[in-house]
Amino acid sequence: MAGTSDAPFGRMLTAMVTPFTADGAVDYERAQSLAAYLVDTQRNDGLVVSGTTGESPTTSDAEKERLLRAVLEAVGDRAAVVAGVGTYDTHHSVELARTAERAGAHGLLVVTPYYNKPPQEGLYQHFTAVADATGLPVMLYDIPGRSGVPIKTETLIRLAQHERIVAVKDAKGDLFAGSTVMTATDLVFYSGDDALNLAWLAHGAAGFVSVIGHVVGAELAAMIDHFRSGRVEEARRIHEQLIPVVDGIMMRAGGAIMVKAALALVGRPVGGLRPPLVAADDKQTAELRACLVAGGVKLADV
């Protein structure tokens, strides 16, 4: 599924969790059910599979491919399905990209190589190698808090010259730098930080790659609609309403941990987490419950 030139992967995307069975295996059937829920109920027109929130460091290449195929089968006819293929190894990332293309992915999410902290020229060569490996459009993922290095403005401007590098998921949080890149290039920006969703829209972003979209995707889609239609106050009201949800899911134990707890609270459990991640404890879950209620999220009856 192709997007438009100003939103090549859609506008409301969720970085989808990977469901697991009780014995820790990937639950592909539940992944399909969750994907359908995100698209049909939570108004997502795109999904990212095997991103950070999908616990990609702990899933095998074979699991990633099977998961991607399962999600494509479930929703690939009505939402863009973007495969996370970034690693700290260029060769491995290239192979994951080629596998994702063969599986039918609509695009690739490529995170900055983490842990080994390459120089900017290394980043440029890494991203270019992955983009050269397939015919799919690429979204770069700039998240120095996890990767250790930012993609600098001048590097993004260089990368924008590649015909298949079309977008950036920004979790760097430098709105001025993002505006500079958008002014100088055709790169489309997506907010990769739920706390800054409205701010990124105001700075020209096309939409979101969200974590809280698992439980408030419809509200985020409405925020985008309002903003794009000039109803800025309505968009701001949604932003204010969702502050407790952002606080509960993103500002505490971490996205994957808390969003899996949130899904259980709304009646869509997706299993546990793979080590080294651990499930939210009772205190964290109680605090999360209060945040979700404060944000207007309807919880399951228990």
Query: Residues with Cβ < 8 Å from 68, sequence gap 6 or more?
Result: 49, 50, 81, 83, 100, 103, 104, 105
What is the rounded (10 degree) CA torsion for 37, 38, 40, 44? 180
| Closest listed residue to residue 261, CA positions, set 283, 239, 276 | 283
* Active-site choice (28, 37, 169, 260): 169
Cis peptide before 276 (omega within 30 of 0): yes
- Token pair 């509960």: residue: 248
Whole-angstrom distance, CA of residue 147 vs CA of residue 175: 19
Is 169 catalytic? The answer is yes
- Residues 126, 142 contacting (CB under 8 angstroms): no
* Active-site choice (88, 114, 141, 190): 141
Q: Which residues are catalytic?
A: 141, 169
